[in-house]
Amino acid sequence: MIVEQVVLIIAGALALVSALGVVLMPNAVYSALMLLLNLVSLATIFLLLHAQFMFAAQLIVYAGAILVLFLFVVTLLNPQGENILRDKHRLQQGGAITLGLVLACVLVGGLLYAFTSGTQPDLATSVTQTGSTYGSVEAFGQALFTQFLLPFELTSLLLLVALIGAVVLGKRK
């Protein structure tokens, strides 16, 4: 178990540091790269939790497609770019900080509740004992197409609407 713990600590630390980097980096391209590091660290943590499909989806969809698009736009439109993120939007900054704190409170509260109520899954034993099918592609697919069929289909509808919207915007001269 010790190897997994070491990897988990490294990946977790990297995820935290890179998440801070996304916000604090002066240049948008470096922010995007920090986001890449963050996504890869999270994917590693998914893998350690035996969520194999989440690992692959995280890399293929987020790191491999969405972030490439971010980087694509940022590198193309941001040649001098040092100051573009330094614009002071007081209201926006205040709102971001407030909402961030609220989210942090919810997260910490949830964790505290889970730890004190005594129902928290013991990570070390649950991962080793649930066997290899837990979190596998088969289990994920089964759950997606039976238990969560309706949300899944609704999401596909949402994506279709976004796609049509993009085509309409692109065609309008």
DSSP state letters, 103-148:
HHHHHHHHHHHHHHHT----HHHHHHHS-TTTTSHHHHHHHHHTTT
Are the C-beta atoms of 38 and 67 separated by less than 8 Å?
no
Using alpha carbons, list the distances in angstroms from residue 53 to 62, 66, 117, 122, 131.
13, 18, 30, 22, 15
Count of positions on this chain that bind another protein (CB under 8 A): 25
Per CB under 8 A, the segment of 66-74, 86-94, 100-108, 118-126 that binds another protein is 66-74
**Contact call for residue 63 and another protein (CB under 8 A):** yes
Smaller CB separation from another protein, 19 or 54: 54
Please state the length of the chain. Answer: 173
> How does 117-134 read in b/e, with b if 16+ C-beta sit within 10 Å?
eeeeeeeeeebeeeeeee
Smaller CB separation from another protein, 69 or 91: 69
**Contact call for residue 60 and another protein (CB under 8 A):** yes
Smaller CB separation from another protein, 120 or 130: 130
Smaller CB separation from another protein, 111 or 163: 163
**Contact call for residue 25 and another protein (CB under 8 A):** no
**Contact call for residue 51 and another protein (CB under 8 A):** no
The site for another protein (CB under 8 A) is made up of 2-4, 29, 33, 36, 43, 52-53, 55-56, 59-60, 63-65, 68-69, 71-72, 75-76, 132, 136-137
